[in-house]
Structure formats: C-alpha cells, structure tokens
Chain A
Amino acid sequence: MGFSYLVMRTSKQNNSFFPRSAQLIHLPVVAAVSAVVALIALSVSAQTPKATSKLKEETTTTTAAKAEPLSGAQLWTMNCSRCHMARNPGEFTAAQWRTIIRHMRIRANLPASQVKELQKYLEAGAGK
C-alpha cells in the first residue's frame, strides 16, 4: 500500500530532495529558515510582556508578580514535559533526584539557575 500522493516530487530523481544546482545553497537556506523561525519565536515571546503591560494599569501587583523568576514547579512543568511525561517529585528520593537532575542538566542543557530551583522543588517533594 503506497502513499505516493504524499510524496513531494522534485526535479532531482535520484540523489537528493533538492536539485543538484540547489545543493550548494543548502547551508544559507537552512540558516535563513532558522533565522526566520527564530525571529517569529522571538516576536511571539516579545509579545507576552506587551500583553501584560496593557493590564498594568489595572493589575499592577499582578504584573509585578509575573516579572518574578519562575518557581521550581513552573520550571518542572516547562522543562521536563518537553521530552517526556514529567515525573512526580515523589517518585524518587532526594538523593536520587540530585543525581537525576544533574543527568538532565547535562543531557538537556538546562541552565544552572533553573536547575537549582528545580532541585529545590523536587527534593522538597521527594519520596522517602
């Protein structure tokens, strides 16, 4: 059972997705696409504080609270669920969490400042 209707046909039949004449521009194309995606993402993230600033007059205290660093619980949700279902703090002991969080810090390239907050949160709720 084929699915040729899904296949994107190009002028290059044998070697690669792009025609040979286009192969030399792979690098700049990828860089350009990445830059565009980065700009879009940055603009999305930049819009968030603008949205909160609109509410500033009404909820000054709320806006101030949002400017605070993320809690360990928020970082746990933000980082762990990117790659897998987040593990409940009670699933490991505090000593095990210290080891696992170091493993994840290195594997997922997590910033040290975030790791410290994560570690506090996980150890506080660690199993016995």
Chain B
Amino acid sequence: MNRTILPILAAIALLVPCRLDAQDAAASPAQDTVTPPPSDYVSRAEYDKLKAEHETMKKELDALKDAVRQMANGTAPAVPSGTPPAAEAPSAAKQVVSTTTSQPAATSGEAETSSTELSGPLATHDFSIVGDAEVQFGKISRQHGAFMLADFAPIFLFRGGDKILFEAGFDFILQNNAPGGSGYTTTVNLSFATLDYIINDYVTFVGGNMLLPLGTYSERSAGWLNKFPDAPLPRAVLPGNGVGVQLRGAIPIGERGASVTYSAFVDNGVSSVDGTANADQLDLGGNVGLTSDGRFANLHGGAGWGGRVAAFLPWKPTYDVEIGVSGMSSPWDNRARRQYSALIADWAVHVGPYIEVKGEYMNTWVGTDNAGAIDPDGWWIQAGYKLGGLKLNVPYLDKLELVGRYDTVDDGLGSRTERGTFGAVYYVTNTLWLEGDYEFTNNHGPNRLPDDSLLFQVSYGF
C-alpha cells in the first residue's frame, strides 16, 4: 500500500506548486486591483449583450441585402395596393411606416432614409398612362335595355424635366351606324391635349386643347370621378373645352391647407353651326382645328376669354369647403356681332370622409338674330353618404355609398327638363366601382330629353 501511496504523494507534491503558481498568475490582476477595473474592461454580461446586438444587426443587414438584390432582379414583392382608410389623416409615424412595408425591421428614421436610397435616382422624364374605362347597361323608358357604352379613356402623360408636362386624354367609344348604315364605328375623341409649363410656384402656363375651368365638372368630376353614370344636364349649356392658352395656379393661405386658386384663359370661343346667329345654331364644341378646305375653323376671328377664382378652405383633413366663381364670354356668329356669355358658381363640401355635397349653378346669355337674347341656364346638386360612417362593420354595406342628385336645365328655347337621380356606388376597390341609378325625368316643351332611365355602370380608374 505504501508503494502505491508514495508515488501519488510525490505527484501531488510536484503538482501543487505548479497549480499554485497558475492560480497566482490568474489571480494576480484581481488582487492587484482591489481598486475598480480599468474603463476598457468588458464584463461577460456586456460582451453577451454586444454579441446579441451584433447578431441582430447582421440579420437586418442580410435582410436588406436580400431586398436590394430582389429589387435589382425586379422580383421585389409589390407594396399592398389596398387603400388605407381615409377616415383620419395618418400621423407622421404612419406616414413613415407606410413607406416601408417591405422593410418591417427598420425603424422610422432608417426606413425613410433607406426607402429614399432604394428608390434610386429619379428620371428627369417619364411617360405614364392613367385614365379610366367604363361599361354601362341602360334601360330607358319605352326602349329596349342594352349594354349602351363601352368607354376607354386613357390619359397620356409625359413629364419633361422639372417644368414641363404634356398631357392628352382620349375617349374611345363605340358608335352604332344605324339608322343610316350597318355595323358600328369606333370613334376616338381628343378630350384634351395640352402642353403645360410651370413658370414658378404660383403660375403655370397651359396651352392647347384645354378643359375649360367653368365650374369644376369638366376638370375634376367627369368620367371615373363621377359617382353617376351620366353628366348633370345643365353642363350642356357650357362648352367643355376650348383651344387656346391659359394661366393658372394657387396661392396657399396659412399652414392649414387653405388656398386661393385661379385660372384665366383665352381661346377661340364658341361657334355657330351654319355661321348665322340664329338661336338654334349655337355650337359650343366648334371653332377648333382646320376645316376640310384647309382654312382655320375660327368662324368669327374673335377670341373667347374667361376664368375661375375659387377658395379652398379645409379646417382639418376631409373636412372642407370649396367655392368658386367662373365665367366666359365670346362672340359666336360669323360676323362676331352676337355674344355668348356664361357665369357659373360651384361649391363642394366634405364633412368627414363619409359625407359629400356639391353642385353648380350656371347661367348663360346668348344674343341671337331671331330670338333676341336667350338665357339657357340650369343647376345641379348632388350628395353622397358612405355607409361606412355608420360603423356597422358589415363587409358589403361598409363599401356602399348612397348617392342622390337633382339637376335641371332650361335651353332658353322653350324647353325645360328636371331630373332626380337616386342610386348607390359599391367600391370593390379604391379604383373599381359598381354604380346603379334610377333617373326620374320630367320634360316640358318641345325638345325632350330621354325619359326615366335605369343605369348600371362599372367604372375603373387606372
């Protein structure tokens, strides 16, 4: 037994000093520093924390690299296209979040920066197409029901540099050739085509075939923007567009979004079908382009002029009032002796995101050779209420808007028509609408307009 113990003891005797030396070596710094450790000392907990942060940042960096790689390959996931509710204005925080739907890990500041960087340098010019398309079914009293409209209305936009925009809108419509012929024709109308030049923050030059700023319907309510399948009746007493030049702009009032806007134009004015100043020959859409024999189509050589002044007064987002006054004057017969004048008042009120009321009143004065001075006039008012305002949380009802309109027109030649329209708009998406309306029409006088109608329309804005 002693033989076995002795070697063990000897080994212990040899090892113990070594072990003590090692312990001394290891312990000496601590023993030397009974005082606090130096400032560059990193504890285990701090090290682990830093390591975890490093790993997190590494993962975020990898995610960003993947996102950049995907975008470079054109395979980046699309940003969700659903419309955020317009109930209240998004806060600044929401604004930033919405910019980074593909970068959920980024913080707000990082998101804004990276989003701008990822978008890359913006082109100094761009060609885009927007517009709308409609399909309509109608049943007019004492007529067969029919699909009566297929309208494709693209707007071509070309932005050049910082100042220029060229915009042209078209209407592609099917026109049946009956009763004069068979089949149908596809008509293409140039709704407008203008070259716009931004002179400064307050003045923009517009030249070409312009939508005239008479009221707001032509510029901002027609087509896809209209909650009804057809236009208000009294718009027929006004020209929709004219060829000429225009200066327009806006002056902000305060910091709460209010502004005063103006438009002033000079154009060829209105015209006469046969050149005379007989009352039934007024041609509001004429006086443009070249005639078939190569002559300028300006019948009278006189100019039309007019404009609009308006105030937009919001008190918070989606709560606002806009009122405007506009008018124009132009000779219209071939001798330029008879004058056409128009005066329009327009208004629009939004009470939250669910209630809208707007309308126009227009009066025109037309000097004629055979009927003295006539005054075609009319007015319309429409209202809409989105049922989402009831907070019912019923999926289909929440996307429904009830709409109503009253419009009346007097042609100044002995005929007057009143119409009441009631219907609804169902918003499938923010750009795809289903519209259904019933129109009650009451005619007086010889020039009758279509009777009661039931109309359905699918509208898509793109």
Which residues of A are interface residues toward B (Cβ below 8 A)? 1-4, 6-7, 14-18, 23, 26-27, 30-31, 33-34, 37-38, 41-42, 44-45, 47-48, 67-79, 81-92, 94-96, 98-100, 102-103, 105-114, 121, 123-128
Contacts and interface: CB of A to CB of B under 8 A. Distances in A.
Contacts of A78: 89, 257, 314, 317-318, 320
A6 B418 contact: yes
Contact of A1 (B83, B94, B440): B440
B93 to A, nearest CB: 10
A16 B118 CA distance: 61
B174 interface: no
A82 B126 contact: no
B192 to A, nearest CB: 10
Contact of B220 (A1, A88, A107): A107
Interface stretch (B43-51, B57-65, B201-209, B296-304): B201-209
Nearest to A122: B99
Given A88-B79, A100-B130, A124-B115, 14 more contacts: A7-B442, A17-B379, A18-B377, A37-B323, A47-B315, A69-B255, A77-B317, A84-B461, A88-B430, A99-B158, A100-B157, A107-B220, A113-B252, A123-B116
Contacts of B406: 6
Contact of A98 (B126, B204, B252): B126
B370 interface: no
Nearest to B202: A112
Contacts of B361: 30
Interface stretch (B285-293, B330-338, B347-355): B347-355
Contacts of A86: 83-84, 86, 430
Interface in B58-95: 71, 76, 78-84, 86, 88-92, 94-95
A44 to B, nearest CB: 6
B280 to A, nearest CB: 15
A47 to B, nearest CB: 8
A127 B326 CA distance: 38
A47 B321 CA distance: 14
Contacts of B320: 78, 82
Contacts of B206: 106
Q: Find the residue from B257, B322, B418 having the highest chain A CB count within 10 A.
A: B257
B54 interface: no
Nearest to A68: B255
Interface residues of B, number: 108
A108 B374 CA distance: 33
A83 B462 CA distance: 15
B137 interface: no
A62 to B, nearest CB: 13
Contact of A90 (B81, B127, B461): B81
Nearest to A70: B257
B346 to A, nearest CB: 9
A47 B315 CA distance: 9
Contacts of A90: 78-81, 98, 101
B350 to A, nearest CB: 7
A82 B255 contact: no
B316 interface: yes
Contacts of A7: 408, 418, 442
A87 B79 contact: no
A45 B317 contact: no
Interface stretch (B24-32, B142-150, B182-190, B258-266): B258-266
A125 B116 CA distance: 9
B99 A103 contact: no
A44 B314 CA distance: 9
A84 B430 CA distance: 9
A109 B250 contact: yes
B431 interface: yes
B283 interface: no
14 contacts: A17-B378, A23-B375, A30-B343, A73-B89, A74-B90, A75-B257, A78-B257, A78-B318, A78-B320, A83-B225, A85-B83, A103-B130, A106-B248, A127-B79
